[in-house]
């Protein structure tokens, strides 16, 4: 049986390399490519692959959101995340979105090929560093539960944006930005922006 594969990555060179590498496999057929999450969902619904090899961080609709959309379909494909990032926040987002697996881009071809086959069978495939991070997270006390919007605001603050700049980027008012920040301060047990960013980063809630 030949497995139908969709390759998703916003970097053309990386995408072309993956397609070339995986096209050599006798039991895998690359049926389509996509450069972002929106295109990935459209291509998956058009070509009906067995497995989607999904990059995580892409402009517009990212890999986690695209994964959630595809896994919500009744006959949605298996999704195998392939990314450079192994941070807690990225891993948790992908797992919560319903990804069947999470591999890093330094994985050897044989490991990647085996992961595609296992994902197609409905198995869960996780790179060893990812397993270690998830195990550590489960052993650690639960971190503060920030809302998606609070996390987005803190992520913008971590990039050095002012409240007004955050508001423009997220299309919300400056007063709303301040409200989200104050709620974040309370949840994180801090009193200022810098401490909030530091605490959120240490909890694996945002990236720097």
Q: Let me know if residue 207 belongs to a domain.
A: no
Domain final residue, candidates 139, 162, 186: 139
Separation of alpha carbons 141 and 61, rounded Å: 31
Across the beta sheet with 51-54, the strand order is 28-34, 3-8, 51-54, 78-83, 101-104, 125-126
Task: Output the tens digit of pLDDT for each of the chain's 208 residues.
Answer: 799 999 999 999 999 999 999 999 999 999 999 999 999 999 999 999 999 999 998 988 999 999 999 998 988 999 999 988 777 677 878 888 889 989 999 899 999 999 999 999 989 898 877 777 666 555 555 556 788 899 999 999 999 899 999 999 999 999 999 999 999 998 888 888 888 888 888 888 888 7
Domain final residue, candidates 119, 139, 159: 139
* Same domain, yes or no: 158 and 83: no
* Same domain, yes or no: 195 and 117: no
Domain count, the chain: 2
The pTM of this model reads 0.66
């Amino acid at each position: 049986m030949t497995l139908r594969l969709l390759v998703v990555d916003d970097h053309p060179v990386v995408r072309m390399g993956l397609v070339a590498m995986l096209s050599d496999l006798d039991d895998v057929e690359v049926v389509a490519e996509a450069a972002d999450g929106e295109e990935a969902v459209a291509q998956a619904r058009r070509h009906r692959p067995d497995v989607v090899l999904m990059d995580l961080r892409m402009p517009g609709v990212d890999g986690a959101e695209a994964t959630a959309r595809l896994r919500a379909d009744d006959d949605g494909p298996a999704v195998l995340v392939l990314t450079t990032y192994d941070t807690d926040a990225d891993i948790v987002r992908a797992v919560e979105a319903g990804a069947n697996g999470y591999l890093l881009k330094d994985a050897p071809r044989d490991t990647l090929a085996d992961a595609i086959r296992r994902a197609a069978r409905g198995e869960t495939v996780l790179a060893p560093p990812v397993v270690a991070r998830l195990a550590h997270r489960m052993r650690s006390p639960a971190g503060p539960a920030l809302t998606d919007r609070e996390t987005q605001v803190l992520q913008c603050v971590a990039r050095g944006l002012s409240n007004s700049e955050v508001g423009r980027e997220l299309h919300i008012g400056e007063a709303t930005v301040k409200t989200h920040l104050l709620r974040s301060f309370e949840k994180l047990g801090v009193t200022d922006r810098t401490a909030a960013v530091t605490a959120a980063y240490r909890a694996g809630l945002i990236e720097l």
